[in-house]
Chain A
Amino acid sequence: MNEILEILLSVSFWAAALRIASPLILGTLGELVCERAGVLNLGIEGIMTAGAMAGWMAVYQGADLWTGVAVAAAIGMILGFIHGVFTVPLGLSQHVTGLGLTLLATSLSYFTYRMILPDVPSPPRIEAFQPLAIPYLSDLPIIGPAIFEQTPLTYFALIAVAVVAFVLYKTPLGLAVRSVGENPAAAEAQGIDVYAVRIGAVMVGSGLMAVGGAFLTMSAFNAFFFEMVAGRGWICIALVVFASWRPGKALLGAFLFGAFDAFQVRLQQVVGGDIPYQIFLMLPYLLSILALIVMSRRAAYPKALMIPYRKGER
C-alpha cells in the first residue's frame, strides 16, 4: 500500500502521465475533429505511423525539429485528403477505406524507411525535443515540474486542445463542422459546402494524428522502430467515445489513460517477477475496451457519423 502511495505522490509519476498522454491527446483530438464532421477515420493507426516515420526522417536528413513536425503534419493531411475523397464525395465505406489507409500508410512508411536505410544495425538516433521549463510556472510546487517541464510538443498538444475547443464551439467554422456531422442536409440549406467542410475536417484531424505519431519519434524516443505505434491509434478511437466527442473530456481521458499507463509500469517494478509482464502490457488495451463498455450505452454519436451524404438527395 505504501509503495502505491509513494508512486502517486511522486512528481515524476505525474510528469510521466502527461508525457505518455501527449500522443494520445493529439491522436484523440484528430479523430474527434474527423468524427465531429461525420467521418470515422480508421486510418489513424497508419497516419500516426507515417507521421512518426516522416517527421523523424526529415530531422535525420538534416531538417530542424519544427520542420520535422511540419513534414509529419503535411503527410498526415495528404493521407487525410485521400480518406476524405474516398469517403465523402465518393461515399465509399468509411470502415474499409480507413483500414486500407492504415495498411497503405504503414507499409509505405516501412518501405520508405527500408529504402533509405537498407541495413542499419540499430535504429539511428536524432537530437530529439528536450524538456523546456516554462519560466515562473515551473516553480509551482508539484504541478510545476509535472506539467511545465515537458517537451515543446506536449505544450503543443495542450494548446491544440484549447484551439480545437474554441474553434468548434465559438466560431462559424466550428458550427459548420458540427452541423455537417449532425445534419448535412440542413447544413447545405444554410449554404455550407458539406463536401469541402468534411474533407477539410478530415485533413486537419489527420494532420493532428500525424503530429501525435511524430511525438513518439521526436519527443518520447529519438528513433523510429517498426510497430512502435502499437495500437495507440485504436486506443484514441476508444478515447473519442469515452470523451463523448468533446475536446476537454478528450484531454481528461487521455491524461487518465497516461496516468494509468505510468502507474502500471511503476507497479510492475514494485510487484516484480510474481506476475508475468505481459499481464501489465495487456492492461492498457483492456482498459480501453472497458472504457468503451462503460460509455457506449449513453454515447451521443454525431448523428451523421458514417453516413455518406449525396448532394441534392434527401
Chain B
Amino acid sequence: MRLEPRSNVPVHLAVLAPAGAVVLALALTAIPLLWADVPVAQAYALIFEGALGSRFALTETLARATPLIFTGLAAAVAFRARLWNIGGEGQLYIGALAAVAVGSGAIAAPPMVMIPMILVLGALAGALLMLIPTLLKLRLGVDEVVTTLLLNFVVLLFVSMMIEGPMKDPMGMGWPQTAPMIDEATLPKLIDRTRVHTGLILALVAAVVVWVLVNRTTWGFEMRAVGASPAAARFAGMPVARVMVRVGLISGALAGLAGVGEVAGLKGYLTLDLSPGFGYSGIVVAMLAQLNALAVVVSALFVAVVFVGADFMSRSIGVSNYLANLIVATSLLTMLAASLATRYRLRLR
C-alpha cells in the first residue's frame, strides 16, 4: 500500500474533499458539545436557521461574507506564491484607517469621487503595509510569517492611538472611535434596511479579477511558478523578487479593501472591534477554497454561515458563540487532511 502523487485533480474530488472536511469538522466539534451536555442536533439546526432561515438571516450572512471574501482572496493570492501573509488583520485595519482619514469629513466631494478615492487609498495602505515584510524577506531573509503576525499587533496599537488621539470623534461622548464617514463616502446599501452593502459586489468582482489574474495571465503564471519552486522559476529567467513584491502588494491591497468595506459600508466609523479576526479567518477561507479565487466566494459564505448562525444559536440556547471559531478552526485542519486525498491516490499492491 503506498501513496502516489496525482498528476491532476478530478473534479469530483475537488468538490468532495472540502465538503467531507466540513462534515468531519462538524462531527468532531460535536465532541466538546456532548461533553458540555448540549443537544448537538439542536445546536447545529439553530446555526443553520440563524444563518439561512429568514430573509434577515440571509442578508446578515451576506454582509458577514463580504470582508471574508476579501481577506480570503488576500490569503489565497499570497499563499499561491508561497508568500505567507498572515497580516490580513493589520492590513484590514490600516485600510479602514486610511478610508476614515479622508472619508470622515477631511475632504468633501461627490460620491463619484469619494468612493473610488477611499477604495484606492485603503487598498494602497494595505499594500504598503505588506510591502514592509515582503521587502524584509527578499532583501534580508527575514521570515515573513513572524513579521506579518507581529505587525498585526503594532497596527492595532497604532489604530488605538489614532482613535484615542488625533482622529478621535469630538462628538463621540468620549468613546474611542473616529468621526463617522460622510454620506458621500458611504457605500450604498444593496438591499434597503439591511446591512448588505455594495462592498459585496466589489468583493465578487475582486474574486473574478483575481481568478483571471492567477489562472489566465502571465503574471499569474509567474506567481504560480514561484510558489511551486522559486529555484526553478529563477532558473527559467523569471524575476522572482519582482513577482513576490507584486504578490505582496496585491494581497495587502485586498485585505485593505476588506477594511474599507467594513468601515464605509457597514459600521460607518472606526473602532477597535471593527473586525472579529476577519484577517485570520481569511486564511481558513483560502485553505477551504484550496486557494482558488472563485471557490473563495463559496467558502467565505460557509464561514459566514457558521459565524452568523453561531451568534443566533448562542442567544437561543446559551452555548458560547466561540463554537463558531471552533468549527472554523477544525474545518481548516480537516481540510488540510482532506487535501491529501486530492493530491495523492492510494495504491494497493
A: residues with CB less than 8 A from B are: 42, 82, 86, 90, 92-93, 95-97, 99-101, 103-104, 106-108, 110-112, 114-115, 118, 230-231, 234-235, 237-238, 241, 276, 278-279, 281-282, 285-286, 288-289, 292-293, 296-297, 299
Contacts and interface: CB of A to CB of B under 8 A. Distances in A.
B255 to A, nearest CB: 16
Contact of A103 (B79, B151, B152, B284): B284
A268 to B, nearest CB: 13
Given A86-B337, A104-B333, A289-B150, 9 more contacts: A92-B336, A100-B284, A100-B287, A103-B325, A107-B322, A115-B320, A230-B153, A238-B146, A278-B164
Contacts of B84: 95
A114 B329 contact: no
B146 A118 contact: no
Contacts of A86: 333, 336-337
Given A96-B332, A104-B326, A289 B287 contact: no
A111 B322 contact: yes
Which secondary structure characterizes the binding site on chain B? helix
Given A92-B339, A104-B330, A234 B146 contact: yes
B320 A95 contact: no
A112 B339 contact: no
B320 A101 contact: no
A93 B291 CA distance: 14
B330 A114 contact: no
B102 to A, nearest CB: 22
A108 B25 CA distance: 13
B160 A278 contact: yes
Contacts of A296: 140-143
B333 A101 contact: yes
B318 A111 contact: no
Contact of B150 (A106, A115, A285): A285
B164 to A, nearest CB: 7
23 contacts: A96-B79, A100-B329, A103-B328, A104-B330, A104-B332, A107-B326, A108-B329, A118-B318, A231-B149, A231-B152, A235-B150, A238-B146, A238-B150, A276-B164, A278-B158, A279-B161, A282-B158, A285-B157, A286-B150, A292-B136, A292-B147, A296-B141, A297-B141
Among A95, A103, A118, A278, chain B packs the most CB atoms within 10 A around the CB of A103
Interface residues of B, number: 45
B280 interface: yes
A106 B328 CA distance: 12
Nearest to A288: B150
Given A110-B322, A278-B158, A296-B141, A92 B86 contact: no
A92 B337 CA distance: 8
A217 B326 CA distance: 22
B340 interface: yes
Given A293-B142, A296-B143, A107 B150 contact: no
Contact of B287 (A42, A96, A299): A96
Contacts of A292: 136, 142-143, 146-147
Interface string B305-349: 000000000000011101101101110110011011000000000
B36 interface: yes
Among A100, A237, A289, A296, chain B packs the most CB atoms within 10 A around the CB of A100
Contacts of B339: 92
B326 A99 contact: no
For the complex of A and B, the 4 pairs showing the least CB-CB separation, nearest first, are A107-B325, A114-B320, A103-B329, A278-B161
A97 B336 contact: yes
B239 interface: no
B145 interface: yes
A276 B329 contact: no
